[in-house]
Chain A
Amino acid sequence: MNLATSEPEDEAVVRLERVSVVFPIYQAGSRSLKKRVLFHGSAGRIGRDANDQVVVEALSDVSLSLMAGDRLALIGSNGAGKTTLLRTIAGIFEPVRGSVTTHGRISPMLDISLGIDAELSGFDNIRMRAQLLGLTPATIERRLPEIAEFTELGDYLEMPVRTYSAGMILRLGFAVATCVEPEILLMDESILAGDAHFIGKAAARIQNFLDRASVMVLASHNLELCSRWCSKGLWLDQGRIKDFGPIDQVIANYTQSVVG
């Protein structure tokens, strides 16, 4: 696997080649395996590896490449591998087989509570989180007013985050994650729990940064949001790609299969 190498002639911002991610399951006994093999859902396949270890194949043979400007929606039922795919692109899980190549700064927004310290003030949490995303302390201080303004939290930023509502933490997290001008933005649906006003603002911001030619990958069950924000769709089923193409086509196929 090769992370963050630059090949000028390769235009793909994100490239996955035959990626497989397999989780070992240490709690599952041999007895329960029988049931698990017979289980036919849309979640990752459960099997055994060479060492007779119970494993879940969360992603299997996934290849895809995304160019600058691509906005990809990951759709599929629970456990289909959407979040695992996001984490694999983010470099969190190194695949057991295949390779992941990415060019540019990755800003993962998988969990809004990342690096949130409830006892620290909003400002300190912005600093903390921005540092986690790779900003230098000097850049953070320079950007702080802009980030603070986007959160619309006003005087609350002086208060410890434990006094915030979930939606307020979301605003804070989103403001920081998108202020770093990520070249690759990875988002999980849980991020998008804000109120209508905030979602509108977030959409504008995403649009804004996509104009600067970047890649976004969004994992969501909200098909309406997917078709609004994304240009491409990837339908995952049991960790395999079932369909990949223009968003409308993928959504149509997915809806048809779910209804029928």
Chain B
Amino acid sequence: MATTTTALTTVEPVGARPRRAPGALAGFLRVFLRDRQAVVGVVIIAIAGGAALLAPLISPWDPLSAGGAERLSPIGTPGHLLGTDEQGRDILSRLIWGGRASLLVGILPTVAAGLVALALGLSAGSAGGITDHVIMRALDVFFAFPLVLLAIAIVGVIGPGMQNQMFALAVVLVPYSTRVVRTATLSVKPLEFVEAARALGASRARLLARHLLPNVLPPLVVYTTTLVGMMIVASAGLSFLGLGVQPPTPDWGVMVGNGRLVLYRAAHVATIPGIVIVVVALAFNFVGDGLREALDPRARR
């Protein structure tokens, strides 16, 4: 349909208002929605996120108490679709409620790190010189630590807990995202339209906001989305180790950690939440890939 409408614009009667070129958003959506994997990813994230938001309405049981149910019931027990855990709590209900903590600790630190990185990377890339040097050399120190290990060490200093877990993850991600923003800034800065704006006397603030930012955001958004997938795995790992979200709060990582203690008697208690983690992490990867295709014309096949 899109092609016929554009073809029609050429034969429109004189005097008609010029038809708007297909908006950037429409073009983006057209490419993104054609990507089946990306759509599947969005659907999975919507289901997990929607279930977490609507948990009080849709959760069949209380995630925190057994309510007289049998312990370690297997998958398919009447009334407990995915069985019950070592305390007799309904696993499905805990998965639904667990999405709240698990998604939050995966998404929030990544987005926060992205915002900090935007400020740092834009400053470093646009200013160049000594500013660039100081920022990037300082961040180089962080690259000397493997990411997850650094997060664990930070939690070790400030203490376990959900807030500290999110803080630690945000800190370790800043250098990575900053690198992406700086690279994008440097690739746009020497282009003609930026030169032209500068020659026309645009202020530094205007250059940053109108010319650099719009070109830096797409790669950052793509990177951040893929990173969220990784961070859902990493933050679940911290919670699994007992360093993040604390029991009895339901969380997918905490659930795997609890299930580990009854692995020999009822393997499903530990394995089911892990499957949810993998599926949701994959979904964010799919969406990230779809965004890359849709936002970057050069990546389109």
- Do A and B come together as binding partners? no
